[in-house]
Amino acid sequence: MTVTEPVATAAATSGAPLLRVTGLTKHFPQFRQTLIKRATNPVRAVDGISFDLQRGQTLGLVGESGCGKSTAGRTLLRLLEPTAGTIEFEGRDVTHARGEELKKLRREMQMIFQDPYGSLNPRQTIGSIIAAPFEIQGITPEGGRRSAVQALMERVGLNPEHYNRYPHEFSGGQRQRIGVARAIALRPKLIVCDEPVSALDVSIQAQVVNLLEDIQSEQQLSYVFIAHDLSVVRHISDRVAVMYLGKIMEEADRDDLYERPRHPYTKALLSAVPVPDPERRKKVTRILLNGDLPSPANPPSGCVFRTRCWKAEDRCASEVPVLTELAPGHRVACHFPEPEPAPISFTAPVAHSDETPA
Amino acid sequence: MAFLEVRDLKVHFPTDDGLVKAVDGLSFSLDPGQTIGIVGESGSGKSVTSQGILGLHRRTSAIASGQIMLDGEDLMTASNERLRQLRGDKMAMIFQDPLSALHPYYTIGAQIVEGIRVHHPEVSRSAAKARAIEMLGVVGIPSPRQRVDQYPHEFSGGMRQRAMIAMALSNDPSLLIADEPTTALDVTVQAQILDLMRKLQQDFKSAIIMITHDLGVVADMADEILVMYGGKAVEHGSVGEVFSTPQHPYTWGLLTSMPRLDRVRQARLNPVPGNPPSLINLPRGCAFHPRCRYTAEVADGGCSSVVPGLDEVSGEHLARCHIAAPRRTEIFIKDIRPRLRGEESS
């Protein structure tokens, strides 16, 4: 049974989107080896997500670990083969692109990884790491690869003279800059950034975030920005989608989502973020969710969030809520969304404060 | 005398490349029921501080000096045997990564029971197990009677962290050291764990040292904050004072560089320039001076030649900076506070 959520309305935005994802699904089959190899419930990592991404814009994809945000990012770059759904890039269906077509596509779509240690080959020099995209695509940029690479290094704030150094000679923040240089080498139109700053120290995070923003405005890039840090996502995104157990729970423009969250899960997430203001702890009560994320191999029936939701009723167990447009550009998948003039995220919800797990 | 007194603690590691001064002269004190937050970036010496207090540096090549008094007992001169008795009993630790801190071969229950019986051999196996079940219940693990016989891999990340807290608390420690206890967790689980620690502190009156890089967690949990940079405290004071009128340029940098949900969204973040220093090769003078925007405030390049002392700003609020305190307050009000409030001045 593959439930793909119908999109209630197409995003009301001007022009064709750079990227349109419809009902994207990625299931990982699981096998149990007894006498015969038998398939059991697949892990529903991504379970029918749909969104549009406009040119030059950033879509933030937030959620807790295991919600499928990284799998979604990899699947839409075709690093993983989608189980169902379609991916349209510049109006072309690239869901099943292969061979040369896929290779060409990779010039347009790149990725920045989370771990600045694991994503750079320790035996290659910085120069050859950043030149790898040219080599793979068989491109010789004007003026030669070396000068192109050095220009890229300069652009991301690295000293071009360090061309022949190895990754271990750089700090975490500098390594992430190397990852950025490699991603922008082919002048792509889309970059999927998977937790690009979460491994970095606080004082360095801001440097990399600013760099990503500068490059975006220079090159009209679009980002899919995957992160669990809600503050960073708010800073960098134009639109934000909140994922839970493989599904999009809420998607809206940044300010809409942060100031007027309509889904109970979004509300709980926002209230849980600790804020560097000791005065606030006296004023604000948190919505504490009970328990843990259910297994994506065996998701709850109906609404996947219902097992941790304080508003859940019988209907939530039987009927899957459809992602519906409740206000222009604001889509929510909930049977009992918060009312429209919802209190701003940081004034405490009075009724449901302090629901501590016993 | 306070319950825990740390005076001029130094932990240095000799290496082939030179002496790593991981902790270089740290002093603070802590009373029962109180929480101190130690904040710093990777390599600032915050974790080594906690290891120094527990005496975990002793098996390494570390050279430690200074004084650590726990409830009137000098831990620095205590025998290894005495420290072993104290660890897990009077003082306990919660580690960042519960998966590597729990033994994969033994059930959660067996590991808690061992911790109890090592320190209290008179407690029977069954009584210790009953205590383990009770503690798992206290930290909010559902059906503890079944869970006690499960292995760490059968627990989710948040539950493992709860199990580790249960283990740390099973002997009612009066000092609890939590080293990044929620860093590996999601925000909703983090909120659960912090809430739990707060409640348990009320019940057990433990003193807590909370080591973290997250200023939000400190603002939430701590009474006092100690900001470390390059192995030294650069600012130390009550949470109220340090967050309302921070006095060190590094603290300013930390506060202005992070995007905040409780403020108007900034058009642009203000990062601290440069990279954290290497502890082998600390910059001369003030360790923060190469990244500081305000060195021009000090005459004759004093920042790059003289190490500033940790001086009193007012009462218990200390800062390590050459700029005169009134001038720092002026800079903060004119330059930093508007940015923190999202008033986008410069």
**Residue from A201, A289, A356 to probe the interface with B (highest B Cβ count within 10 Å):** A201
pLDDT at A314: 94
Cα dihedral B290, B293, B299, B300 sign: positive
Q: Find residues 184-203 of chain B whose CB sits inside 8 Å of chain A.
A: 186-192, 194-195, 199
Instruction: Quote the ipTM score.
Output: 0.84
Tokens of A179: 């990852």
- Number of residue pairs across A and B with CB atoms under 8 Å? 142
**Phi, psi for residue A131 in degrees, rounded to 5:** -80, -10
**Phi, psi for residue A152 in degrees, rounded to 5:** -65, -40
Please report which confidence band the pLDDT of residue A16 belongs to, taking 50, 70 and 90 as the band edges.
confident
pLDDT at B341: 80
Judge whether B129 and A265 are in contact, CB under 8 Å. no
pLDDT at B212: 92
Element (H, E) at A219: helix A202-219
pLDDT at A208: 94
Judge whether A321 and A245 are in contact, CB under 8 Å. no
Q: What does the pLDDT average to over A22-46?
A: 86
Residues B40, A269, B195: CA angle, nearest 5 degrees: 60
Q: What does the pLDDT average to over A1-5?
A: 44
Judge whether B156 and B73 are in contact, CB under 8 Å. no
- With a cut of 50, which residues of chain B have pLDDT below it? 345-346
Distances (CA, A) of A174 to A181, B25, B86, B114: 11, 30, 42, 45
pLDDT at A82: 96
Residue-wise pLDDT for B52-65, tens only, equals 999 988 888 899 99
| Residue of A65, A174, A203 with shortest CB distance to B257 | A203
- CB under 8 Å to B343, separation ≥6 — which residues? none
pLDDT at B110: 95
> Contacts of residue B262 in chain A, CB cutoff 8 Å?
275, 277, 280, 346
pLDDT at A7: 42
Q: How far apart are CA A262 and CA A333, in angstroms?
A: 9
> Contacts of residue B42 in chain A, CB cutoff 8 Å?
172, 201
Q: How far apart are CA A42 and CA A181, in angstroms?
A: 37
The residues with which B21 forms a beta bridge, in sequence order, are: B12
Residue-wise pLDDT for B271-280, tens only, equals 899 888 888 8
Distances (CA, A) of A214 to A155, A190, B275, B291: 10, 15, 20, 22
> Contacts of residue B270 in chain A, CB cutoff 8 Å?
206
Judge whether B162 and B139 are in contact, CB under 8 Å. yes
Least confident of A76-90, A247-261, B73-87, B188-202: B188-202
- The answer to whether the Cβ–Cβ distance between B157 and A291 falls below 8 Å is no
Residue closest to B194 by CA, chosen among A85, A356, A96: A356
Tokens of A306: 């219902």
- Helix, strand, coil % in chain B, rounded to nearest 5: 40, 25, 40
| Residue of B159, B240, B265 with shortest CB distance to A292 | B159
| Residue of A202, A230, A234 with shortest CB distance to B254 | A202
By CA distance, what is B158's nearest residue in A? A292
Judge whether A215 and A137 are in contact, CB under 8 Å. no
> Contacts of residue A269 in chain B, CB cutoff 8 Å?
187-188
- The answer to whether the Cβ–Cβ distance between A274 and B269 falls below 8 Å is no
Please report which confidence band the pLDDT of residue A3 belongs to, taking 50, 70 and 90 as the band edges.
very low
Locate the domains of chain B by residue range: 92-170, 252-340
Q: How far apart are CA A252 and CA A59, in angstroms?
A: 10
Residue closest to B70 by CA, chosen among B88, B57, B83, B80: B83
| Beta strand pairing call for B35-39 and B224-229 | parallel
Residue-wise pLDDT for A183-199, tens only, equals 999 999 999 999 999 88
Tokens of A334: 């909930």
Domains and CATH numbers, chain A: 19-117+189-199+217-332 (3.40.50.300)
Q: How many Cα atoms sit within 13 Å of A234 on the Cβ side? A: 23
Q: How far apart are CA B160 and CA B151, in angstroms?
A: 10
Q: How far apart are CA A351 and CA A345, in angstroms?
A: 14
Judge whether B84 and B25 are in contact, CB under 8 Å. no
Q: Find residues 139-168 of chain B whose CB sits inside 8 Å of chain A.
A: 140, 142, 156-159
- CB under 8 Å to A83, separation ≥6 — which residues? A2, A25, A26, A27
pLDDT at B343: 62
The distance of B177 to chain A (nearest Cα, Å) reads 20
- The residue with greater pLDDT, A213 or A66, is A213
DSSP 8-state secondary structure symbol assigned to residue B56: G
pLDDT at A230: 93
pLDDT at A344: 52
**Residue from A275, A279, A293 to probe the interface with B (highest B Cβ count within 10 Å):** A275
Residue closest to B271 by CA, chosen among A211, A284, A170: A211
| Other beta carbons less than 10 A from residue A282's beta carbon | 6
> Contacts of residue B218 in chain A, CB cutoff 8 Å?
276
> Contacts of residue A237 in chain B, CB cutoff 8 Å?
none
Residue closest to B227 by CA, chosen among B257, B208, B244, B248: B248
